Structure 1
């Protein structure tokens, strides 16, 4: 599955599941872990869990099984790794605390040239 198609499938699924404040972060050049991080909020621990499980299920139906999931038991923060797209679904208070958008939305560091060193 193409990366852009997968990203859109995730965003559509989050929207279908009534996730709040969906943010798509292009982190290419900032980390080798993934190309996109998608952050969204759920309204309760059950909602967070349901959103994450549905994203993983729909991706698998489309031919992209999750490499892993985390946090489904607790429900305050769930992560779904779709190899190129990583989804974080959190309760608003947890999202505010970790501020992933601010962390990953910052400009990529500029490498120092040898002349500046």
Structure 2
């Protein structure tokens, strides 16, 4: 009896994940990497940069690095290998631009200092009509 060879799917044959499924893929990868206090912020209508932002944290420089590596690998495995990564040498704040979703991975002290959740979660002020 012969076994069929183990064929790994190439990124070009994988389905392209979009929208909510793409955010779910990112959140799952972060959870698998044991990221802490993950927050998803919907940016639709607030910014033309992306449709969503995810802010999370790791316990140390090494943990932030591991989280970022796991997420980048998950993106590549799902056919989204074009993510841009900034901040890996220091691992205080790593930004991963996955196109429609921007992911920020912080150390706790750096996250508290920048407080991106407050900036991007705030509702827009109501426009006033000048009469």
TM-score calculated relative to the size of structure 1: 0.92
Which structure 2 residues correspond to residues 91-102 of structure 1 after superposition, within 5 A? Answer: 91-102=107-118
Stretches of 4+ aligned residues off by more than 4 angstroms: none
TM-score calculated relative to the size of structure 2: 0.82
Which structure 2 residues correspond to residues 21-100 of structure 1 after superposition, within 5 A? Answer: 21-100=37-116
Q: Which has more radius of gyration?
A: 2
The one-character-per-residue Cα deviations of 1:1-38 (angstroms, maximum 9, x if unpaired) are: 21211100110111111110000000111111011100
Cα RMSD after superposing both structures? 1.3
Per the alignment, in what secondary structure is the counterpart of residue 123 of structure 2? coil
TM-aligned CA distance change 1:45 to 1:104, over 3 Å: same
State how many pairs are aligned.
115
Unaligned runs of 5+ in 2: 1-16
Which structure 2 residues correspond to residues 105-116 of structure 1 after superposition, within 5 A? Answer: 105-113=121-129, 116=130
Unaligned runs of 5+ in 1: none
